[in-house]
Structure 1
């Protein structure tokens, strides 16, 4: 299969999606922030000096997903109908699992928007906690699931 964002001359190319059918499209992306027990406790107890870390990161993730086309040059500007950011505080493994779900009715998928949303939320968590733990690590950012369009449903668990 050829790369869709490269034309026959090897040049960058924004794909023409005008002939594609409008379908409901959805994607879920996830990533993790590994942090110290102290930083995690401050997030969980809402006692961080910068305020409600999860609330700010949620809004940032939503904004990030909506700004995807401004950040990734060949992405189409999309009118997202839903962006949902969820956090799971995993004390045992000292991490915050961040998940972004994006949805729309359109002609192209929303994987890049979900990935952008999760990354911006993770970066915001990092920014808000860096004074307590500058050694945090962002990892395992990936698409978990997508659906819609001619390829239908795809899930990481199903390959």
Structure 2
């Protein structure tokens, strides 16, 4: 049995890459920092951003008409401290913090986790709605599968 290691829909990847290079203003880039723009480090304080990287990102953003954002699980102020003096559009804390191109920073309201058995106020959680009142709801596939497609997803 041979595994299909190509992700469905990416067969035209080279054509899309050519299009991005020929018409960069038609594209937007959301670049993950950790492990993509900078190497994974032993701890948060060991992360090193190469000195020329922020300026290269500014130049790339210019070719994309500003459509470049940085994404990280860290806080946006960490991005600013390490990629400054440039203030890039960014998503920090996995999307809890978001800075728009205009520079305004938004923080999503995050409710503290309720303890076991505590009553939750407000609208029901998405998982509660899926499961319904009595238990398990239908199992759903992730919107963006990770890894190669399995035989069941072909």
Q: Does TM-score exceed 0.5, indicating one fold? A: no
TM-score range, shorter chain: under 0.3
Larger radius of gyration: 2
Bigger relative contact order (CA 8 A; separation at least 6): 1
Q: So what's the TM-score if we normalise by structure 1?
A: 0.22
Q: As a proportion of its length, which structure holds more strand? A: 1
Q: So what's the TM-score if we normalise by structure 2?
A: 0.23
